[in-house]
Amino acid sequence: MHKIAVRALSANTNTELLEKQAREFRAEYVCVYSESAYSDISQRLADTKIKVLCGMEGLCELARLECDIVVNSVVGMVGLLPTLAAAEAGNDIALANKETLVAGGTLVTDCVSRNGVQLLPIDSEHSAIFQCLMGAGNNRPEKILLTASGGPFYGWSKDQLRGVTVEQALKHPNWSMGAKITIDSATLMNKGLELIEAVRLFNVKPEQVEIVVHRQSIIHSAVEFCDGAVIAQLGTADMRIPIQLALTYPDRLLSPAKKLSLSDVGNLTFGKADDQTFTCLAAAKKAIAMDGNAPCAVNSANEAAVALFLKKKIRFLDIGEAVNGALDAVKFIANPTLQEILDTGSAAEEFVAARYGRA
Ligand code: MG
């Protein structure tokens, strides 16, 4: 029987939800990343003994607390330093923050192995791949089949995409998620980031990962072995399944998620991803082929561009242009240090700001 106790919780600016969760789970610590939310959350929790922290320092302090596992679900490259802090403190990490692995690359994976901690994926596709490899022993996958829903604009032409509004892009067909990742799903940048994440997590070459568009989001990904056997993980599109497994691994527990009925689903379809139209995906593929600081550059350019798009300051197709432009503009470094990764992130953001303004 697993009993999960929560020591600490964090939020960016949503102090109302943070207060509710902190009281419900009797957290010892909370942290708001946005320093402007500090006084509000402090007032909300003034009648409790909960310690209130803020900013990057606060996030890293939470990540270093003595615990069994740190769940990193912050949005964007902000998650990089807390991930490294958790690993250095000897804490296992359940990672929902793909940008950390994309930008940090081997800095993160080396830090994890040097400290002997586990990195458990929460991203549904990577949890699926991880599950397909549970019990695979020494057999390494020859290929990873990374499934993609295709997002709300699957099959659309560039002409059709020109007029896409924020409201249209925020409507994902299968998953209910935060704004940034929903836009990333619409541009296919999310799949590009996940391709890079898969290369990092499972130590495969980029050409060993095949992106398969699967509109129903029932197969969450699959692996192929040398004998041609393909093992897939299936389930309803409910993030509680991968989140729970990351927390209880290697055990499986009862889950409130709806069970899958294949006969109700009926048909499963498969297709190819169009990286000619969805140029963010092309940029991500190019970046992981280059490796070094290139994935960090495309990731940071994308973060800046998506923030601008959400504020209606650029158009949908500008996101791909910003990402490809930053990849060409930012100086390539084959083996970046942590500082060089952080600097690359800033340089890519500056590139986007110079061309399109700030969010
Ligand atoms: Mg995913």
Query: What is residue 1's predicted lDDT score, i.e. its pLDDT?
Result: 52
pTM here is 0.95
| Helix boundaries (H) for the chain | 15-24, 38-44, 55-64, 80-88, 98-104, 106-114, 124-133, 158-161, 166-169, 179-187, 189-202, 240-248, 262-265, 279-290, 294-310, 316-329, 338-356
Compute, in angstroms, the gap from residue 40 CA to the centroid of ligand 1.
33
Order of all β-strands in the sheet with 69-72: 69-72, 92-95, 119-121
Intervals of the chain under pLDDT 50: none
Domains annotated on the chain, with CATH: 8-121 (3.40.50.720), 124-287 (no CATH), 291-359 (1.10.1740.10)
Report the separation in Å between the CA atom of 320 and the middle of ligand 1, taken as the mean of its atom positions.
19
* Ligand 1: centre distance to CA 125 (Å): 5
Confidence (pLDDT) at 2: 62
Question: How far does the centroid of ligand 1 lie from the alpha carbon of residue 44, in Å?
Answer: 34
Q: Which two tokens stand for residue 15?
A: 């102090």
Distance 46 CA to ligand 1 centre (A): 37
